[in-house]
Amino acid sequence: MINKESVIEKLKEIYEPCMPLIDIVEMGLIYEVNVEGNNVGVVMTFTTPHCPAGFRMVKMVEDKIKELKGVGSVGVKLTFDPPWTKERLNEENRKKLGFI
C-alpha cells in the first residue's frame, strides 16, 4: 500500500547532487507529500532557484517514487515560496555542511 511514510522513505534514497552528504528529505527540500489512492504529489524546492541539478532532481524524485509498487501518477510541483534556507537543516546537518 502506498502511503506518505513509504514515499518519504523512498525519497530519503535521493541525495542533493551538489551536496551529496544529506538526502533531500533531511535537506528540507521536500515541503509536502500527498497520496490520494495510488497517485502521489510532491511539493519541493531547490537550495537556489538557479540550482544546476534542479531539473535532474525532479526527474530523480519522479523515478524514485515510481519504484514503489502500485504507484499510479506522480506529480512534482516546484516552489520557491518559502525559499530554502539553512534553517531547514537540523544542527547536525548544518555542521556537516559547514554552516556552523
Rg (CA), the chain: 13
Q: How high is the pLDDT of residue 99?
A: 87
What is the pLDDT confidence band of residue 97, given thresholds at 50, 70 and 90?
confident
pTM to 2 decimals?
0.92
Q: How high is the pLDDT of residue 18?
A: 84
Question: pLDDT for 36-78, tens place per residue?
Answer: 999 999 999 999 999 888 889 999 999 999 999 999 999 999 9
